[in-house]
Amino acid sequence: MRILLTGSSGWLGQTLAPRLARDGHQIIGLDPVPSATTQVVGSIADRACVAKTMRDFEIEAIIHSGALHKPHVETHERAAFIAVNVQGTLNLLEEAVAPGSKVSRFVMTSTTSLMISKETRAGRAGGADKAVWIDEDMAPLLPRNIYGISKLSAEHLCRLFHELHGLPILILRTARFFPEDDDMAHAMSQSADNAKTNELLFRRASVEDMAESHIVALAKAPEIGFDTFIISAKTPFTRDDCPALIANAPAVVARLFPHYAEIYARLGWTMFETIDRVYDAGKAERRLGFVCRTGFAERLRELQG
């Protein structure tokens, strides 16, 4: 297929583009930042640019991973999030269903961040008696910043266009996979590798797994039609663990992985004292048929050597 990949110069885009190419797809990357994986330098907020790109390359599918992200909250005006994340998504959808369009499926990269409100963060501040179990049934969704608001709005646009036009659209709410140092690592005086390994228990996945989830979604979209999936490494926890995760997370991890403490001690690593939320990616396994290959257990095996 001829696939338009937005955000092609980003961390996910640069991983996803060669993976799609290995499957024989023709990838047309669109991003404001030039890179080896970007064929068109431009913004999705520019409707004319989107229209020309889709027409010139006769696009057959869209993977929409381009967006302003959470770190941009500190550096960009709120209007920029609306222009890129909301209007940009609308531009892509409008062109996908325009007369003469060849687009047969649409995959959107969203974020688990839009599921986090002030209330769900209470555990980190010591104001909760158990971790929050987060799945796709969580409601109401009350994003805590303009990033979350804009991504939730983009999700609603996707739903609307599926209902109005029947365009197969799958939304992937991705957990953390960015390469930057983690905020909790700084707070806990941990190394980035230590914190990111901890997070594989409840809110992280590798960028390779994130790319693979988009490959699966691209193939499954016509069959499923429309749906939303959390994509995160498979958690070893259950809902019954939630009270103990707030009170004493290392004890829960030790019960499930008795050898972890020895490995961590050798590395000089520590576990988070408290875990305030857990992302449940079970729906993606059941309905999409996707499970991340790398989780906490796999990472421990790597560390064990």
Average of per-residue pLDDT across 136-142: 96
Confidence category of residue 81, pLDDT binned at 50, 70, 90: very high
Q: What is the pLDDT of residues 1-32, one digit of tens each?
A: 999 999 999 999 999 999 999 999 999 999 99
Average of per-residue pLDDT across 271-296: 97
Task: Say what the pLDDT of residue 43 is.
Answer: 98
Task: Say what the pLDDT of residue 76 is.
Answer: 79
Task: Say what the pLDDT of residue 125 is.
Answer: 53
Average of per-residue pLDDT across 284-291: 98
> Measured between alpha carbons, how far is 121 from 132 in angstroms, rounded to an integer?
9
Judge contact between 287 and 227, C-beta under 8 A: yes
- In degrees and rounded to multiples of 5, residue 238 shows phi and psi of -120, 170
Tell the residue number behind the tokens 């980190």, with chain if given: 124
Q: What is the pLDDT of residues 228-276, one digit of tens each?
A: 999 999 999 999 999 999 999 999 999 999 999 999 999 999 999 999 9
Q: Where are the domains of the chain?
A: 2-304
Question: Shortest CA distance to 72 belongs to which of 89, 90, 84?
Answer: 84
Question: Shortest CA distance to 218 belongs to which of 109, 107, 93?
Answer: 107
Question: Shortest CA distance to 28 belongs to which of 10, 15, 41?
Answer: 41
Question: Shortest CA distance to 59 belongs to which of 13, 105, 116?
Answer: 105
- Please give the share of the chain, as a percent, with pLDDT higher than 70: 93
Task: Say what the pLDDT of residue 127 is.
Answer: 67
List of residues 6+ apart from 219 with CB closer than 8 A:
none
Measured CA distances, 102 to 4, 106, 107, 198 (Å):
12, 12, 15, 43
Q: Which fold has domain 2-304?
A: Rossmann fold (3.40.50)
